[in-house]
Amino acid sequence: MPTWKSRGLRGSTLEELINRSNERYQELGLALIQKIPTPITPINIDKQTRHITLAYFDQKSTVDYIGVVQGIPVCFDAKECATTTFALENIHPHQVAFMQDFEKQDGVAFFLIYFTSLNEFYYLPYRKLKEFWERAENGGRKSFRHDELDISYAIHSPGESGILIPFLDTLQKDLEERE
């Protein structure tokens, strides 16, 4: 079973940027998006600082963020990728199932991926992830390459109004392509 300590602080910078962006979107009245905490069971607690130093995850998490943008329900997960190839093993089947069910309820599901080697943020619509996922399930590649992505979904940061990762523009593009 994975532990909190073993995962270190992977993705914490990305999540901090997303959290600040979400706060700014809320301040501007554009969106209300919350980070979903992952339930943990503490094992070791430093008595002096009262910080958890070792914990087990209680259950599988679904997505990192959930909320509403101008009346549209959204959920998304944040992922970092150090190379230009993203391994699908970084996404869990229960996350894909949750996103599929979320979209069946007329919500919008997506991933925000930070390609660290390119210093690029990318909005990956669930429907595109599903293509890659099904390709892997049918014996194809268990990853996707950056050059397989639609470059128009790249997020240019920082945005106006102090938004560090301005993903609402790409969300709008996603919505327009669904019509």
Could you tell me which residues are annotated as the binding site? 62, 64, 77, 95
Contact in structure between 165 and 155 (CB atoms under 8 Å): yes
Beta sheet of 154-155, edge-to-edge order: 31-35, 65-69, 72-81, 108-115, 120-125, 154-155
Secondary structure class of 145 (helix, strand, coil)? strand
The binding site for Mg(2+) consists of 62, 64, 77, 95
Contact in structure between 175 and 72 (CB atoms under 8 Å): yes
Distance CA 21, CA 7 (A): 24
Contact in structure between 121 and 165 (CB atoms under 8 Å): yes
* Strand-pair partners of 178: none
Q: Which residues contact 19 (CB under 8 A, 6 or more apart)?
A: 35
Pairing of strands 72-81, 108-115: parallel
Dihedral class, residue 16 (left if φ above 0, else alpha if ψ from -120 to 50, else beta): alpha
